[in-house]
Homo-oligomer: A and B are copies of this chain.
Amino acid sequence: MGKKDSSRKAVSDAVARRLPTYYRHVCAMEAQGIQSVTSMQLAERVGNTSAQVRQDFFACGGVDGYSTSVLKNWLGTILGIKDEHHMVVVGAGNLGRAIISFQDFNRDNFFIDAVFDSNLMLEGMQINGIPILNVSALEDYLRENRVDIVVITTPADVAQSILEKAAAGGVKGVWNFAPADLRSSENIKVQNVHLTESLMTLSFRINETERIAEDE
């Protein structure tokens, strides 16, 4: 499925978004006892074409054969989830708490080690056994502990300063839920989850259907 290719370059955002979906389906197929999977079968499950699946895999260097376990292993490796990722959450509001209580992450080797908040009243408390620290201690924490990913669930106006502290502390990635466009350097990757925009995209699709229907 997709020839081997030793040249490495960054893949498009669309491919980067589809890879975890492939991984989820391949895991589900393995759990169902399905021992081999063709690009056609995988394409049917994820709702695109087999040519697309092959192209996406080729863009990531390609994989030989159709064994479900080989494919799962290969996807897990390129997704980087064979390695442990240590994370901290900045912002102990409802969204921060929701992310902390997501049990799914641990299964995939993502571990939340600490939560930071500006509210002094929360200091010393815990959420699901994870300590809440004051945000003023973030830089020291990053110097003294391994942190791969900082999750930002703060208001928009402080998100950029958190990203800069993360970058200065050698963090590799920021998972940003604040409704802000963060300016980042090459050394730190930013993945945005803009909830309000996602809801507006849905509202757009609903509205679009109604407009098309009116025109017909």
Q: Which residues of A contact B (CB under 8 A)?
A: 6, 8-11, 14, 16-17, 19-21, 23-24, 45-47, 78-81, 83, 85, 93-95, 97-99, 101-102, 104-105, 108, 110, 148-149, 172-175, 179, 181, 189, 191, 193-209, 211-212, 215
Contacts and interface: CB of A to CB of B under 8 A. Distances in A.
B20 A201 contact: yes
15 contacts: A16-B205, A20-B196, A78-B208, A79-B203, A80-B206, A94-B101, A102-B195, A105-B199, A148-B206, A149-B199, A149-B202, A175-B202, A189-B202, A191-B202, A193-B193
A17 B6 CA distance: 33
A173 B206 CA distance: 7
B8 A196 contact: no
Contacts of A23: 200
Contact of A196 (B94, B104, B198, B204): B104
A47 B172 CA distance: 21
A204 B98 contact: no
B105 A196 contact: yes
Contacts of A200: 19-20, 23, 79, 81, 108
Contacts of A19: 200-201, 204
A75 to B, nearest CB: 9
A206 B172 contact: yes
Nearest to A15: B204
A191 B172 CA distance: 29
A211 B85 CA distance: 16
Nearest to A83: B207
